[in-house]
Amino acid sequence: MNEVVGIDLGTTNTVVGAFRNGVASALPDEDGRTLIPSVVSFHPNGSVLVGRPARDRRTIDPKSTVYSVKRLIGRSWDTEEVKRAHARLPFDMREGPGQAALIAVRGETYTLPEISAFVLRKARTVAESALGSSVERAVITVPANFNDLQRAATKVAARVAGLEVLRILNEPTAAALAYGYGKGTSERLAVYDFGGGTFDVTLLDLSNNVFEVLATAGNTFLGGDDIDLAIAERMADEALRQHRYDPREDPILFDRFRLAAEELKHRLSTEQAVTTVVREVTHGAGGKALDLTFTLTRRELEELAGPIVEQTFDTCRDALAVARLTVGDLDQVLLVGGSTRIPLVKRRVEEFFRRAGESHLSPDEVVAMGAAIQASALAGAERRKSAIPPPPAAARRASTEPGVGRGTLPGGGPRPPAEAGLGRLRLSSMVDAAESGPETKPFEPRQRLPTRPGLQPPARPPGPVPTTQPSGTLLGLGSRARVKTGAGLGPEAEAARADAEAPPPASFSAPSEPSETHVTPVVAAPEPSSALDEVTQRYRESSAEVPPTPWPGSIEGLPPNEVDPLLEPPRALDEAALPLPEIPDDVPTRVGSSPLSQAPPSSSRLRPAPSVLSVPAPLLSVPAPVLVDVTPLTLSVETVGGYCDALIGRNTPVPCDRTRTFVTAVDNQTTVRVRVGQGESARFGENTLLGELELSALRAAPRGKVEIAVTFALDTNGMLDVSARDLATGHATQAQLYLVGLPGARELEGLAARHAAQRTG
Ligand code: ADP
Ligand code: MG
């Protein structure tokens, strides 16, 4: 049998979970351990160690032992995070083509997704042994605040490891799912996730099987590692005092201090005072090895950790402010991440939220458990879909196929049938779509596209961008894009207003390169905070309109094969709980290079629709977790002067899409390029550059006569799709998104082949 799993690919630890016989659980390795350290060590004998054996080599062979890759994945060489890691981490890093950050080890270089692929492969192996079956498909979780590049790079890692990604799921949503799936309650939940390297907090509404994210906030440089470092510093001070030698001068020695510090910290979660001995810190008279004996009490640990723990509440305050909630509005605080085992953290959480954190599910396994539930739901829906015949009788059979079971989540209440029916998602895989993409050399991330030659307009002070272009620029588009984004307008209103406006093209001056130029929208500078509030508010309003969802409560007491979906009243036709209708394979894809044959893209969805659409009646009582996530970052395109035209605001529910119209600036222009980024700054350069959108093979016509409506869609994975059409002809136009530093299809094939050939242990 081919099983599906959920994988929490963590910064520190990776956990793989499965949902079997109605129970979600983390899968143990042959030693009974469920936590796989996210560490990869390249052994001198040519094999690659992953997990615990790799972690053990951190002190023996630090230069060949790679960890904390999740902090770096999807980030280019020139970013602060990568620079910082390069300076601090003991293994070597290099700049690769296209500003990719590469890990250099034993004379080879590896891309970041390749390193993560080793960890995923290990997770897969653990799962296959535990389940006794092959595993080829998985739901993989990422932090809620991962941008498009980080999500795409994670997906690449899975593909390199030979795994098909059923979905990229946000970690807090997964945790909430493990907590609330099958409970049948309505609660407002805070997911407080304090891991090794990051802190995240997410506020969700849980209503029956609908999991709806209200707000999310995070700090990517705040975690248990910081506590380890604080302890290690204290130990180093002590070594300096005792032996007149500062271990910080030797990064490898200091890394041993950090590991010893982490162990102390763990033990202090249950003990009051702990002593450790660090061997051979330095050498004294006559070359005698000098050890360090160090004792720490829980009270001392709390003094060191206090300021770090306090910072988590700044982030909590942010999230509450975004959602316009107070702690009194919350019903539950779910503790996630290994650092929530620290008694000080538990205590401070209780003081801040005025209720004890919920931790009956293991905080380091809960994310993988939720991912497993979602994987099972998606796989169940796919199986069912393939079995759905048109007549209701057959559909009834399909919906009650064997394997639909009842059971109890650990600590949870009654649960619905396992084969929850979330439908086929628009898995707009960059990888899949890139298969028809341009050829590039194997093993090299795609080159960063050159910046626009001679296209930088004169520097402009911050402030609104005029809606009329100064002559001499090459920019332009129809008036639709001049609709002021954000402030005072919700997405629907914005779309409606955009559609209502006539699109007379703006005037443009002749560019120096007649057949290829960048066109960016002309808009007023966005006002992110008010736009955000507006989006949040509108979302609230619209979500209140979502009809109640049928819940397994209605079938409680019935064995699954006695559930007759036809008995459900039409009232219960909750589209959200049902499989998607068939979606043609040629839907707009991430980097689709072939012309699109579908109907014109819609400008916006009318409500924060979950990942599903309406379906035929016979399947209606099939329950499924419905996940309504939000995008953590504002998606923008670059405007004249380097400003942002915000397309999709931070915290907008996904899936969603927005359409902008771009107009040619010169006669017979064949190509248009637009830079796309994510982030909250009004200045494009201060945000993360995702890549460039290229519209090509445009119809030959005088300038201003070609108007291309481009739809930017964020799918349920929070990942970007683009599609475009020529407004005059209604035909699809070639639109390709080149993401910074990510491999194309051929490169990926090469990476996967190299990966498969590598011996792992
Ligand atoms: P991530 O999500 O970053 O992969 P985890 O959720 O696995 O991380 O948490 C890892 C962090 O939890 C590490 O900093 C680790 O030291 C810490 N941790 C794990 N167990 C304990 C414990 N018993 N007491 C204190 N900290 C712990
Ligand atoms: Mg985690």
**Model confidence pLDDT, tens digit, residues 169-218:** 999 999 999 999 988 899 999 999 999 989 999 999 999 889 999 999 99
Query: Is the confidence at residue 628, as pLDDT, over 90?
Result: yes
Cβ contact 13:51 at 8 Å: no
Q: What is the pLDDT of residue 440?
A: 31
Residue 34 beta carbon below 6 angstroms from any ligand 1 atom: no
Cβ contact 266:340 at 8 Å: no
Residue 574 beta carbon below 6 angstroms from any ligand 1 atom: no
Query: Is the confidence at residue 446, as pLDDT, over 50?
Result: no
* Residue 490: band (very low, low, confident or very high) from pLDDT cuts 50, 70, 90: very low
| Rounded-to-integer distance, Cα 690 and Cα 235, Å | 42
**From the CA of 265, how far away is ligand 1's center (Å)?**
10
Q: What is the pLDDT of residue 392?
A: 39
Angle, alpha carbons 593-137-712 (nearest 5°):
35
Nearest-10 crossing angle of helices 224-243, 298-323: 150
Distances (CA, A) of 72 to 89, 149, 378, 590, 742: 12, 11, 29, 23, 13
Provide DSSP, 533-554. HHHHHHHHHHHTTSPPPP-GGG
* Residue 1: band (very low, low, confident or very high) from pLDDT cuts 50, 70, 90: low
* Residues 6+ away with beta carbon under 8 Å from 275: 293, 294, 295
Query: Is the confidence at residue 221, as pLDDT, over 90?
Result: no
Q: Could you read off the pLDDT of 566-621 as tens digits, one per residue?
A: 223 333 223 333 333 333 333 332 222 222 222 333 333 223 332 222 333 333 33
| Rounded-to-integer distance, Cα 92 and Cα 102, Å | 9
Q: What is the pLDDT of residue 220?
A: 82
Q: Which of 35, 146, 339 to mutate to test the pocket of ligand 1 (most atoms within 8 A of CB)?
A: 339
Nearest CA to ligand 1 atom 18: 338
Q: Which long-range contacts (CB under 8 A, 24 or more apart) does 270-277 make?
A: 271/298, 272/297, 272/298, 273/297, 273/298
Residue 538 beta carbon below 6 angstroms from any ligand 1 atom: no
Neighbours of 57 (CB within 10 A): 18
The reported pTM is 0.74
Nearest atom within ligand 1 for CA of residue 223? 14
- Tokens 């605001």, residue located: 649
Q: Which of 266, 271, 272 to mutate to test the pocket of ligand 1 (most atoms within 8 A of CB)?
A: 266
| Rounded-to-integer distance, Cα 345 and Cα 350, Å | 8
Residue 340 beta carbon below 6 angstroms from any ligand 1 atom: no
Nearest atom within ligand 1 for CA of residue 268? 24
Query: Is the confidence at residue 530, as pLDDT, over 90?
Result: no
- Tokens 């899968």, residue located: 27
Scanning 427-478, the segments in alpha helix (DSSP H) are 430-434
| Rounded-to-integer distance, Cα 750 and Cα 436, Å | 15
Cβ contact 146:75 at 8 Å: no
Cβ contact 204:212 at 8 Å: yes
Coil, helix or strand at residue 530: helix
Mean pLDDT of 333-355: 98
Mean pLDDT of 486-500: 36
Nearest CA to ligand 1 atom 20: 338
Q: What is the pLDDT of residue 89?
A: 87
In this structure, the strands spanning 516-518 and 671-678 are parallel
Nearest atom within ligand 1 for CA of residue 10? 4
Nearest-10 crossing angle of helices 251-267, 224-243: 120
Ligand nearest to the CA of 175: 2
What residues sit around ligand 2, an ion, with C-beta below 5 angstroms?
10, 195
Distances (CA, A) of 361 to 78, 103, 167, 176, 733: 39, 36, 23, 11, 50
| Rounded-to-integer distance, Cα 15 and Cα 24, Å | 13
**From the CA of 336, how far away is ligand 2's center (Å)?**
7
* β-sheet with 92-95: strand ranges across: 92-95, 101-105, 108-111
Q: Please, what is the average pLDDT of the chain?
A: 75
Phi/psi at 638 (5° precision): -80, 140
Residue 141 beta carbon below 6 angstroms from any ligand 1 atom: no
Residue 651 beta carbon below 6 angstroms from any ligand 1 atom: no
Q: State the number of CA atoms in the 13 A half-sphere of 275 facing the CB.
A: 4
- Tokens 């980097």, residue located: 591
Nearest CA to ligand 1 atom 25: 266
| Rounded-to-integer distance, Cα 236 and Cα 229, Å | 10
| 3 state SS for 405-439 | CCCECCCCCECCCCCCCCCCCCCCCHHHHHCCCCC
Mean pLDDT of 504-518: 31
Q: What is the pLDDT of residue 760?
A: 85
Q: Could you read off the pLDDT of 720-759 as tens digits, one per residue?
A: 999 999 999 999 999 999 999 888 889 999 999 999 999 8
**From the CA of 691, how far away is ligand 1's center (Å)?**
34
| Rounded-to-integer distance, Cα 595 and Cα 591, Å | 11
Cβ contact 689:448 at 8 Å: no
Nearest atom within ligand 1 for CA of residue 336? 6
Residue 196 beta carbon below 6 angstroms from any ligand 1 atom: yes
Mean pLDDT of 66-92: 92
Q: Residue 513 — left, alpha, or beta (φ > 0 → left; ψ -120 to 50 → alpha)? A: beta
* Residue 406: band (very low, low, confident or very high) from pLDDT cuts 50, 70, 90: very low
Neighbours of 33 (CB within 10 A): 15
| Rounded-to-integer distance, Cα 128 and Cα 126, Å | 6
Residue 14 beta carbon below 6 angstroms from any ligand 1 atom: no
Is 422 or 110 the better-scoring residue by pLDDT? Answer: 110
Comparing C-alpha atoms, which of 97, 107, 751 is closest to residue 442?
751
Q: Is the peptide bond before 570 cis (omega within 30 degrees of 0)?
A: no
* Residue 667: band (very low, low, confident or very high) from pLDDT cuts 50, 70, 90: very high
Residue 255 beta carbon below 6 angstroms from any ligand 1 atom: no
Nearest-10 crossing angle of helices 491-500, 528-543: 100
Neighbours of 3 (CB within 10 A): 23
Which structure tokens are listed for 227?
Answer: 């506590």
Is 581 or 121 the better-scoring residue by pLDDT? Answer: 121
Query: Is the confidence at residue 94, as pLDDT, over 60?
Result: yes
Residue 11 beta carbon below 6 angstroms from any ligand 1 atom: yes
**From the CA of 572, how far away is ligand 2's center (Å)?**
36
**From the CA of 196, how far away is ligand 1's center (Å)?**
5
Residue 12 beta carbon below 6 angstroms from any ligand 1 atom: yes
Q: Could you read off the pLDDT of 229-266 as tens digits, one per residue?
A: 999 999 999 999 999 999 999 988 998 999 999 999 99
**From the CA of 195, how far away is ligand 2's center (Å)?**
5
Query: Is the confidence at residue 694, as pLDDT, over 80?
Result: yes
Give exposure, 304-326, as e/b (b: 16+ Cβ within 10 Å): bbeebbeebbebbebbbebbebe
